[in-house]
Amino acid sequence: MTDVSLVSRFDALLADLDGVVYAGPHAIPGAVESLKQLSGLGIGLGYVTNNASRSPAEVAAHLRELGAPAEDNQVVSSSQAAADLLASLLAPGSRVLITGSPALAREIELAGLVPVGSQDEEPVAVVQGFSPGIGWKELAEATYVVNAGALWVATNTDMTIPQARGIAPGNGTLVAAVAAATAQQPKVAGKPEAPLFHSAAKRLGAERPLVVGDRLDTDILGGNNAGFATVAVLTGVDTRETILAARSAERPNYIIGNLTDLHRPYPDVTHDDGTYVCGEATARVANGAVGIIGSQDNLDSWRAACAAWWAETPEAATPQAPKLVWLNH
């Protein structure tokens, strides 16, 4: 089935944002054009983001500024997931300490809860989401409230976030500070949990969505947890090497260089007697190493290598990087 484009096999695309559509304020080359093509193919589009620092409407506005197709309701955020989770666990009107952005506070309000900013206001829960303005005082306030026995929910635990200047600390690093100070762990609402993906698919009425993301530990793990097909794109955090080494739960069904590849045929990987073939590349595992005939610059080489190595290590609970032996044609 290599003559049709990869994305045409599915009825919707659930796209991550940071590292997939944009890095910081700028669109990733080819991303906007690739997303625009979907509507002409009758393929739904949803954006699934762990970024809790902006409202879905603000995210959609940013996407439109970049030229990408985006209605407000096409954006499903971890802030919404966190607010839904808290609303399911607390009585209406309960007070929740906001360790995060005004957008997060607004989602808490919309869920029928009362956002507060201090332990003095007697919150019964803490919700922690990313905001570049968070400092020691905010983390201390969250620590006081968690230590006093309050329910603690994190929008997400991404350890890093791609920015225009490079990789920066994400919400997970701020959550880790409170966890270290309280010896507790929060309930996590966003990726890699499945509900965020299920609600996005439900909004689109999609039965066969494809999840695209740049991170194995959130996008790919979350899509896999939801039971959806997953594709890793190499424009953000994870690399060919980290994808090859991925633990079983974080292995994608497909690997592409950028979103433009969604509209190209995806090569099948075939195997015979332990030799895996993708395009003109072949890979085989021997003595714990992966021997690859092909170019290091060609993704087909890595697709073949992944197929061979993953077949060899089907139950990998931790990342395992094999030795690679490159053999030119």
Which positions are catalytic? 16, 18
How far is it, in rounded angstroms, from Cα 53 to Cα 64? 18
How far is it, in rounded angstroms, from Cα 239 to Cα 17? 17
Taking a C-beta distance cutoff of 8 angstroms, is the pair 117, 97 a contact?
Answer: yes
Within 10 A of 132 (CB to CB), how many other CB atoms are there? 10
User: Distance between the two ends of the chain, CA-based, in angstroms?
Assistant: 26
Cα-to-chain-centroid distance, residue 43: 20
How far is it, in rounded angstroms, from Cα 103 to Cα 230? 29
Within 10 A of 71 (CB to CB), how many other CB atoms are there? 12
Enter the tokens of residue 25: 């304020």
Decide: helix, strand or coil at residue 26.
Answer: strand
Within 10 A of 219 (CB to CB), how many other CB atoms are there? 34
